[in-house]
Amino acid sequence: MTQDGYTTPDGRKIGSVVMEMKNITLRFGGVVAIKDISFDIREGEIRAIIGPNGAGKSSMLNVINGFYHPQEGEIWFHGARRAPMKPYEVAYQGIARTFQNIALFKGMSTLDNIMTGRLTHMKAGIVAQAIWKGAAEREETANREAVEKIIDFLEIQHIRKTPVGRLPYGLQKRVELARALAAEPKLLLLDEPMAGMNVEEKEDMSRFILDVNDEFGTTIALIEHDMGVVMDISDRVVVMDYGKKIGDGTPDEVRNNQEVIDAYLGVAHD
């Protein structure tokens, strides 16, 4: 691996470091959720974060999101140190995510949920919106076109107008991915995108994640419990246990790391 990237076994070019976490420590009162963790995410990469329950994986995404503020450590994004930010400011920097427990807007249709994901691209002020004709309508139509592309891409045309509360679990997960993609993020964070899915749904979701990475060049960081999936789709893996980092490397390196085997893989299914 060189300073400005590497080439994956399947021939994809991985670029320079986009996001770098330096010595992050996050505490909740007495609980240390993240203990002095450093790792980086490179441009175009699919980066997995794995670890047993309660290891601190979701907390790490929340730190990247600006939802939790670590007591110690630095976050570097696109080569600059990031000042503490509110979550919505982070969204404007091009970081989008999905949630471990689906966090869709239940009272809205699939289309409206995904359109909401476009809001960082919409500028019309409240007066233009109230008058609608002109700027606001043009902006709405342009963004609707972008959203329709994502709807086609994720094959959810048939549920466009359905209230999301009525959708089955697997489709809700897909709509949530669509909402995150609608932002056209530079960095996409996925918190257990395949949890609770059956084999077929998992295969679909894996394919979508690979396609997103391939077609839009989106950098992806994902948390996943299914080892088969992680080993299949990720380029590099961070392993966490009790808030500490115990491994970091390619799937093969991680698979053969004794500490990881002891702490995690040994107790997992395979």
Ligand X SMILES: Nc1ncnc2c1ncn2[C@@H]1O[C@H](COP(=O)(O)OP(=O)(O)OP(=O)(O)O)[C@@H](O)[C@H]1O
Which residues here bind ligand X, judged by CB under 6 A? 28, 31, 33, 51, 53-59, 100
Q: Is 180 in the site for another protein (CB under 8 A)?
A: yes
Q: Is 156 helix (H, G, I), strand (E, B) or coil?
A: coil
Q: Judging by DSSP bridges, how do beta strands 80-81 and 72-77 pair with one another?
A: antiparallel
Question: Quick one: what does residue 28 bind among Mg ion, ligand X, another protein, none, with the CB cut-off 5 to 8 Å set by partner type?
Answer: ligand X
| Rounded least distance, CB 251 to another protein, Å | 29
Please choose, out of 26-34, 56-64, 158-166, 209-217, the segment that lies near Mg ion by the rule CB under 5 A: 56-64
**C-beta separation of 219 from 233 below 8 A:** no
**φ and ψ at residue 52, rounded to 5 degrees:** -65, 170
The half-sphere exposure of 185 on its side-chain side, counting CA atoms within 13 A, is: 24
**φ and ψ at residue 172, rounded to 5 degrees:** -60, -40
| Rounded least distance, CB 156 to ligand X, Å | 26
Q: Is 58 in the site for Mg ion (CB under 5 A)?
A: yes
| Rounded least distance, CB 176 to another protein, Å | 9
Q: Which residue's CB is nearer to ligand X, number 72 or number 252?
A: 72
Q: Is 100 in the site for Mg ion (CB under 5 A)?
A: yes
Question: Quick one: what does residue 131 bind among another protein, ligand X, Mg ion, none, with the CB cut-off 5 to 8 Å set by partner type?
Answer: another protein
| Rounded least distance, CB 225 to Mg ion, Å | 9
Q: Is 222 helix (H, G, I), strand (E, B) or coil?
A: strand
DSSP 4-26: TBEE-TT--EE-SEEEEEEEEEE
Distances (CA, A) of 163 to 106, 115, 160, 194: 7, 14, 9, 22
Binding site for another protein (CB under 8 A): 65, 67, 86-88, 90-92, 96-97, 99, 103-108, 112, 115-117, 119-120, 122, 124, 126, 129-132, 136-137, 139-141, 144-145, 148, 179-180, 183
